[in-house]
Amino acid sequence: DVKVTQSSRYLVKRTGEKVFLECVQDMDHENMFWYRQDPGLGLRLIYFSYDVKMKEKGDIPEGYSVSREKKERFSLILESASTNQTSMYLCASSFPQHFGDGTRLSIL
Amino acid sequence: DQQVKQNSPSLSVQEGRISILNCDYTNSMFDYFLWYKKYPAEGPTFLISISSIKDKNEDGRFTVFLNKSAKHLSLHIVPSQPGDSAVYFCAASLMDSNYQLIWGAGTKLIIKP
């Protein structure tokens, strides 16, 4: 079974902080994805990566960056957190995409 | 511009009856369609998929139907069980897109006892 692990289930940060969300997969998958989920909006793609050190912008990359230094790990970075980035963040890998349990991030 | 639409935000079905969840898409180049199920505070779980060369795929209680001419797919759950209460997302994929998925907004299915 594919396992995608997100480092935190719940996180509370302050406006202006730099926030790191970590995601690790255990199946040597090339493709990894970061989404945010908001009520009524479904899943919106922030960034994805199809190989180490490769990244592509998704639909809503503004205010975010990513890092993929190793194949198994894909990190999402909020450069300067703002309240409108309060959301559920979901990491996925492979196809069909397998998801972690999500990180509920609150920015105060 | 929403390429994948789930027009029903919620659906309520009696336990034991059939649940039918619908999804419409606009891009005729989509070549693969997937359904995911999501419980609160968990990530989505892959449920069933269908290639654009087929019109039906079945897995136990779950069947997905694809009508390419109408650009419509549906997920049938029969019989519906209380554990099926969740949000269901429809997603579509384009060949050569690095496995990106285009997602619908989701339909919340409530199974009544």
The mean pLDDT value for A24-49 works out to 91
On whether any CB of chain A is under 8 Å from the CB of B41, the answer is: yes
Q: Which residues in chain B have Cβ-Cβ distances shorter than 8 Å to A55?
A: none
pLDDT at position A2 = 74
Residue A41's pLDDT band, with cuts at 50, 70 and 90, is: confident
Helix, strand or coil, per DSSP, at residue A102: coil
A17/chain B closest Cα distance in angstroms: 24
pLDDT at position B55 = 96
Tell me the C-alpha distance between B23 and B91, whole Å.
9
Express each pLDDT in B42-53 by its tens digit: 899 999 999 999
Best of A43, A47, A74 to disrupt the B interface (most B CBs within 10 Å) is A43
**pLDDT of residue B96 exceeding 90:** no
Q: Give the tokens for residue B93.
A: 């994929």
Q: Which of B48, B62, B83, B103 is nearest to A90 (CA)?
A: B103
Burial class (CB in 10 A: 0-12, 13-18, 19+), A15: exposed
* CB atoms A95 and B99 under 8 Å: yes
**pLDDT of residue A106 exceeding 80:** yes
Q: Which residues in chain B have Cβ-Cβ distances shorter than 8 Å to A38?
A: none
pLDDT at position A78 = 97
